[in-house]
Structure 1
Amino acid sequence: MRILLFSSLYPSGARPIHGIFVETRLRELLKTGEVQAKVVAPVPWFPLRGERFGEYARFAATPRQEQWNGVEVHHPRFLVFPGFGMSITPFTMALGAWRTVRRLQREGFEFDLIDAHYYYPDGVAASLLARWLRKPFVVTARGTDLNLIPEYTLPRKLIMAAERAASASIGVCQALMDRLRELGGDPGKTHTLRNGVDLQRFVPEARDQARVRLGLPIEGRMLLCVGHLIERKGQYLAIEALAQMPVDVRLVLAGEGPDRAALERQASALGVRERVQFAGVVPQTELKWWYSAADALALCSSREGWANVLLEAMACGTPVIATDIWGTPEVVSQPAAGVLMRERTGAGLAEAWQRLFANLPERAATRRHAETFSWESTTQGQLRLFQRILADQRVAHREA
């Protein structure tokens, strides 16, 4: 079986952790030996690479083609128009990718199916490509593509048109598929295939050893946040909560983003700046040390589909505190996993911290909970779904 993975959410040499959850699912699928795949990961066009242009400079620095962890990845450019780009981006993305996809076919990669990730704009763009190429396609919903973007009228109409044309829709949590059905999606085409966790990469390490390795104080307790420093991720709530926690608690923020300066000012204003450490971007291969060094992971997001950091922390034996949203209760489903915040506020996080430590699970129990989320069932579910779609297509062609 040959598949073309299509998504702007995919790592590159310029953005090595961008969309790593999409790459991980593909990597697990390729391990079966039953699938061949190439990736088309469109990137917004931008002409300049100067550091002052931030994220746009990284778009410009993205190679047109590269081998990423043994997979051939292509990064065609597409135009984004400020102000009204949301409405036309699916079309510019599809048009920008067209020549690359056709070239892959001419070079001999005649794929059977398009595996698209993120419903808007990527899934809508994939629906256009699939129509032009007469190929079946599947779209995986991952979070804001269904829990936020459909609030806008035109994107919602385009999403639902893509849903009707798709052979199937996959959700990384049940809550997203419930949302798609609420929007009018076909219940017979919805499938929940949850993200797993790499149990070989994310393993518990001795806490003191981890802290020594990272140059962190051995004494005291540590709360960790991992993610892009943006408002939606809610790191400001962790800083607010820190001011209400015992003075032995330190907060470590792993990640970078546009909110860093504001978070530093907030920590200073609340008098906790010396208790907050900004660790910057941490490579996936090093994250296990940060998870293992922490006493708990906090995820204060306002929107999440299925947050991989929760399972990664648990696989390292570290319980979590998280907002009660979307797919998160499907992960934090037992006391061994951690606790859910009763409200998304700094006070709510501080209260959840107290609740967690009043009945702190054993690290081994937290690890065992994570072990129930291996990639095997998701990978086999994908294979069965793709094989069924292609079998149905062959039958339809014979009957035509």
Structure 2
Amino acid sequence: MTLNVLMLSTLFPDISRPNFGVFVERQARELASRPEADVTVIAPVGLPPWPLSLAGRYAPLRALPRKERWRELTVYRPTFPIIPKFGGRTNVTTMTRAILPLVRRLHAEKPFDVIDASFFFPDGPVAQRLSKALGIPYSVKARGADIHYWGTQSGTRKMVRQAADGAAGLLAVSDAMRRSMARMGIDADKVRVHYTGVDLDTFELTDRAAAKAALDFNGPVVLSVGALIPRKGQDLLVRALPQLPGVTLLLAGQGQYRRTLENLAQELGVERRIGFLGSVPHHKLPRIFAAADIMALPSESEGLANAWVEALACGTPIVISDVGGARELLDRPEAGRIVERDPEAIAEAIRALLDNPPSQAAVRASALRFTWQANGDTLLAHLQGIAAGS
């Protein structure tokens, strides 16, 4: 019997944001490729009320089709009203009200067996309300900031807990995330660890010297992949750079923190050894990973960062902080170093890896268990169990 899945995700790419939620999309495609599952994606789009919605930055979102075929998936993109900067706690009510008529219509045409919410907030509380309206079970996946941020804020903490309590099953990107959920009072017995996947045919081994030559990189290169926001800790990498003569730091990502990082680099006199790559299309990341000697991301918090796994798959060791699933991923010394969030400790770890680089094949070996096949197998079994009431 085919499982009919409603996948609810506010983290899903579109033509204006191709890098947004690419891992949610890849997970959805993996599940939909199975003959045992039909998947319909509802990816709500938040827009402020008129006339704020007329602002230029919202034009690409206003222009999105409300229904489209996106890489073999049927994706609905209903809009719901948001209040910029202040509306997090109101998004659950406005999103539910906006999408419920669509969900009821689709459910009447072909009943859903289960709801799979891709993120804990606002997706989880919305899934709880849809579940109550339709009389079908739901699951929610914890990825990182949804627990570490929304699960601790006074206006949203209660909704996150209630969504967890009402779910028939829960997923977490790492065992560390599962433990974080338990510390919040969420029933750990309901939580199944669901690791991300990596496309091992795309993120593959490449000769590093050739990769550097192709991109005109010279000397040792440290790459950091992540949004330019304080939580990711790129400032610590900039502060480590004076202790790493001859090393170039490349930052792949965008965000308002860029100006702060540029000013810091100027103050430290290392601005000529830093490159801002902006938002790199996901399909172009493998060649940059391959050309880097190290990928560093000293985040304040993570679930299990996809950039960690992708770097390892390309044979590039990582230097990361002791957050999220770091210790689950770095299961061998060749894979890299877990360090204190301190410029001196970061510089020391980078120096050690540059002085004694591990073989690319040994680094890649640590990523081989993170396949999309395994990701899809776990998700399918999880949702089938929920739909069957087991």
TM-score bracket, normalised by the shorter chain, equals over 0.9
CA contact (8 A) 2:224 2:297 kept: yes
- The CA distance in 1 between the partners of 2:357 and 2:51, in whole Å, is 50
Residues 340-359 of structure 1, C-alpha deviation per residue, up to 9 Å, x if partnerless? 11x21222321221233354
- The CA distance in 1 between the partners of 2:90 and 2:283, in whole Å, is 37
1:319 corresponding residue in structure 2: 317
1:10 corresponding residue in structure 2: 12
CA contact (8 A) 2:206 2:290 kept: yes
Within 5 Å, give how 1:145-224 maps onto structure 2. Answer: 145-214=146-215, 216-217=216-217, 219-224=218-223
Residue 356 of structure 1 pairs with residue 358 of structure 2: no
SS at match of 1:119: coil
Further displaced range: 380-389 or 76-85:
76-85
2:26 is matched with which residue: 14, 20, 24?
24
- The CA distance in 2 between the partners of 1:259 and 1:61, in whole Å, is 28
1:292 corresponding residue in structure 2: 290
For residues 154 and 205 of structure 1, do their structure 2 counterparts lie closer, same or farther at Cα, with a shift above 3 Å needed?
A: same
What is the Cα deviation at residue 20 of structure 1? 0.9
Q: Which amino acid aligns with 2:23?
A: F
What is the Cα deviation at residue 3 of structure 1? 0.5
SS at match of 2:366: helix
- The CA distance in 2 between the partners of 1:345 and 1:77, in whole Å, is 43
For residues 90 and 168 of structure 1, do their structure 2 counterparts lie closer, same or farther at Cα, with a shift above 3 Å needed?
A: same
2:225 corresponding residue in structure 1: 226
* TM superposition score normalised by structure 1: 0.91
Identity value in percent: 38
- The CA distance in 1 between the partners of 2:24 and 2:286, in whole Å, is 20
* TM superposition score normalised by structure 2: 0.93
2:277 corresponding residue in structure 1: 279
- The CA distance in 2 between the partners of 1:48 and 1:280, in whole Å, is 30
- The CA distance in 1 between the partners of 2:225 and 2:370, in whole Å, is 20
- The CA distance in 1 between the partners of 2:79 and 2:298, in whole Å, is 34
Root-mean-square deviation (Å): 2.1
1:140 corresponding residue in structure 2: 141
Residue 347 of structure 1 pairs with residue 348 of structure 2: no
Residues 270-299 of structure 1, C-alpha deviation per residue, up to 9 Å, x if partnerless? 211111111122112111100000000011
Q: Which amino acid aligns with 2:157?
A: R
What is the Cα deviation at residue 305 of structure 1? 0.6
Within 5 Å, give how 1:369-384 maps onto structure 2. Answer: 369-384=366-381
2:387 corresponding residue in structure 1: 390
1:45 corresponding residue in structure 2: 47
- The CA distance in 2 between the partners of 1:180 and 1:99, in whole Å, is 32
- The CA distance in 1 between the partners of 2:61 and 2:122, in whole Å, is 17
Residues 281-330 of structure 1, C-alpha deviation per residue, up to 9 Å, x if partnerless? 21121111000000000112111111000110111110000011121221
Structure 1 gaps, min length 5: 394-400
- The CA distance in 2 between the partners of 1:4 and 1:321, in whole Å, is 38
1:130 corresponding residue in structure 2: 131
Structure 2 gaps, min length 5: none
Runs of 4+ in 1 over 4 A off after TM superposition: 47-54
SS at match of 1:310: helix
- The CA distance in 2 between the partners of 1:205 and 1:66, in whole Å, is 36
1:365 is matched with which residue: 359, 362, 367?
362
For residues 57 and 255 of structure 1, do their structure 2 counterparts lie closer, same or farther at Cα, with a shift above 3 Å needed?
A: farther
What is the Cα deviation at residue 82 of structure 1? 4.4
For residues 48 and 337 of structure 1, do their structure 2 counterparts lie closer, same or farther at Cα, with a shift above 3 Å needed?
A: farther
CA contact (8 A) 2:31 2:39 kept: no
CA contact (8 A) 1:49 1:58 kept: no
Further displaced range: 278-287 or 179-188:
179-188
What is the Cα deviation at residue 99 of structure 1? 2.4
